[in-house]
Structure 1
Amino acid sequence: MGLPIGLVATVVLTYALNLPYWDDYLVQEQLILMKSQPTGRQKLWHLFDQHWEHRIVWTRLIFAGWYKLTGSLNYYGLTLLGVSGLVGLFAMLTRVFWRMNLPWLYLLPVPFWLFTLQSHENLLWAMASIQNFWVLMFALGSFYALAHPTPKARWLALALAVLATYTSGNGALVLIAGGMTLVWQRMKEERRKGAVRRAGKEESNSHLQIAGPSVFRQRWGFVLIWGLVALMSIGGYFWGYKRITFFPSPFRYPFTDWIKAYFVFFGAFADPYPYSGAGAYGYENPLWLTIALGAILVGVGAYCLLWGVRGRKGEESTTPLSSPSSLSSPSSSPPFLPSSFFLSCFLFLLATAAITVYSRVGFAGPGYLLQGRYKIYSALMLVVVYLFLLYRFGHNRWPAIRWGWAALVMLTIGQSLFTDYLCLEGIINQHRRTTAEYFNFLVNTPTDQQRAVGSVFTPTEPVFFGGQVAQLGAKSWLLLPTTDKLNRFDTQRFMYWIEKSNSVNPSIFTPTDGTYIYMTSGVNTYLFPARPLRPSPTALSGLDGYFRGAGIRAQVLQEHLKPGTYRFGLLTNRKGQLDLNMTSQTVTFTGL
Structure 2
Amino acid sequence: MWQSFSIKNILIFSLILTPIVFFGYIFEKYAINIPHWDDFAVRNSLASYLNSNSPTEKIKILFAQHNEHRIFLTRLAALLIYEVKGTLNLKWLMYMGNFSLIGILVLFFKISKKYSFILLSLAPISFLIFNVGLYENTFWGMASIQNFGVIFLAFLTFYWLVFSVEKQKIKYFYFSLFSCFLGIFTSYNGIVIPIIGLFILLFQQRKQVVFIWVGSCFVFLTSYFYSFLQNPEKASKTDFSHPQLLLKGLFATIGNGIDLSFILSDKHIDLSMAIGVFLVVFIAIFTYIVIFKKYNLANKTNDLFLLACLGFLAITCVGIVLARISFGFGTLLTSKYKIYSILILSIFYFVALQSLSENRKNNFIYMSILGAIIFNIYTYIADYQNIIYLRQERITDQFKQQYSDKDFPKNGLAAKLQQPVAIFYTDIVDKILQTNDSVKTNINITENETSFRLEEKQNGKILDLTSADAGQYFILKSTEKVYLFPTQTIPINKKVYMNSSFLVENRLPLSSFVAEITKFYIQSGKYQIGKVLVENDTKTVIFTTQTIDIQTVEKEKPKQNW
1:97 maps to which of 97, 103, 112:
112
Residue 170 of structure 1 aligns to a residue in which SS?
helix
Deviation at 1:284, TM superposition (A): 4.3
Partner of residue 541 from structure 1, selected from 495, 499, 503: 499
Unaligned runs of 5+ in 2: 1-15, 556-562
Residue aligning to 1:169: 188
What is the percentage of aligned positions where both structures have the same residue? Answer: 22
Structure 1 residues 39 and 444, CA gap change in structure 2 (3 angstroms) = farther
Cα separation, 2, equivalents of 1:267 and 1:448: 41
Contact 1:165 1:171 (C-alpha < 8 Å) held by counterparts: yes
Match of 1:435 in 2: 395
| Among 161, 179, 187, the residue aligned to 2:198 | 179
Alignment of structure 1 residues 58-457 onto 2, 5 Å: 58-148=73-163, 149=165, 150-186=169-205, 218=208, 220-236=210-226, 239-247=227-235, 250-251=238-239, 254-272=242-260, 283-284=265-266, 286-310=268-292, 312-317=293-298, 321=299, 337-365=301-329, 367-391=330-354, 393-394=355-356, 396-397=357-358, 399=360, 402-444=362-404, 449-452=409-412, 453-457=414-418
Task: Provide the alpha-carbon RMSD of the alignment.
Answer: 3.1
1:241–1:521: structure 2 CA closer, same or farther, 3 Å change rule? farther
Partner SS for 2:228? coil
How far off its partner does 1:67 sit? 0.6
What are the superposed Cα offsets for residues 443-500 of structure 1, whole Å, 9 maximum, x if unpaired? 24556833243222444x43111145466457x89xx98955641323367x654433
**Deviation sequence 1:372-408 (CA, Å, 0-9, x none):** 22111121111122223334x14x2364x55444433
1:579 to 2:537 alignment: no
TM-score normalized by structure 2? 0.84
Q: Distance in 2 between matches of 1:385 and 1:573?
A: 46
CA displacement at 1:118 relative to structure 2:
0.5
Structure 2 Cα separation of the partners of residues 482 and 30 of structure 1: 47
Instruction: Give the whole-Å Cα distance in 1 for the aligned partners of 2:203 and 2:188.
Output: 25
Letter paired with 1:13: E
- Using the TM superposition, give the Cα deviation of residue 589 of structure 1 relative to its aligned residue in structure 2, in angstroms: 2.1
Alignment of 1:516 onto 2:469: no
Q: Structure 1 unaligned runs (5+)?
A: 190-215, 275-279, 323-336
- Between the two proteins, the alignment pairs up a number of residues equal to 527
Q: Which amino acid aligns with 1:101?
A: S
Contact kept, 8 Å, 2:198 with 2:210, in 1: the verdict is no
Tell me the SS of whatever aligns to 1:518: strand
- Mapped pair 1:29 → 2:44: yes
Q: 1:346 to 1:233 in 2, by over 3 A?
A: farther
- The 2-side partners of 1:505 and 1:570 are apart by 21
Pair member with larger Rg? 1
**Match runs of 1:530-569 below 5 Å:** 530-539=487-496, 540-542=498-500, 543=502, 544=505, 547-556=508-517, 561=521, 564-565=524-525, 567=527, 569=529
Distance 1:585 1:514 in 2: 22
CA contact (8 A) 2:74 2:146 kept: yes
The answer (yes or no) to whether the contact 1:485–1:584 under 8 Å persists in 2 is no
Distance of 2:96 and 2:463 partners within structure 1: 28
What secondary structure is seen at the aligned counterpart in 1 of 2:233? coil
TM-score, normalised by the number of residues in structure 1: 0.80
| Contact 2:157-2:176 within 8 A present in 1 as well | yes
User: For the Cα contact (< 8 Å) 1:272–1:419, is it kept in 2?
Assistant: no
CA distance in 2, matches of 1:138, 1:558: 41
Corresponding position of 2:20: 5
Shift of 1:349: 0.9
Change (3 A) 1:424 1:253: farther
Q: Is the 8 A contact 2:91 2:141 kept in 1?
A: yes
Check conservation: 2:201, 2:210, Cα contact below 8 A.
no
Q: Secondary structure at the match of 1:589?
A: coil
In 1: Cα distance, 2:70 partner to 2:480 partner: 34
Conserved? CA contact 1:79–1:126, under 8 Å: yes
1:283 touches 1:537 (CA, 8 Å); kept in 2?
no
Letter in 1 for 2:289: W
| Preserved CA contact (<8 Å) 1:146 1:340 | no
Contact 1:55 1:166 in 2 (8 A): yes
Please identify, of 548-557 and 528-537, the stretch whose mean Cα deviation from structure 2 is larger: 548-557
Amino acid at match of 1:356: I
**Cα distance between partner residues in 2 of 1:558 and 1:455:** 32
List, as ranges, runs of 4+ consecutive aligned residues in structure 1 with deviation greater than 6 Å. Answer: none
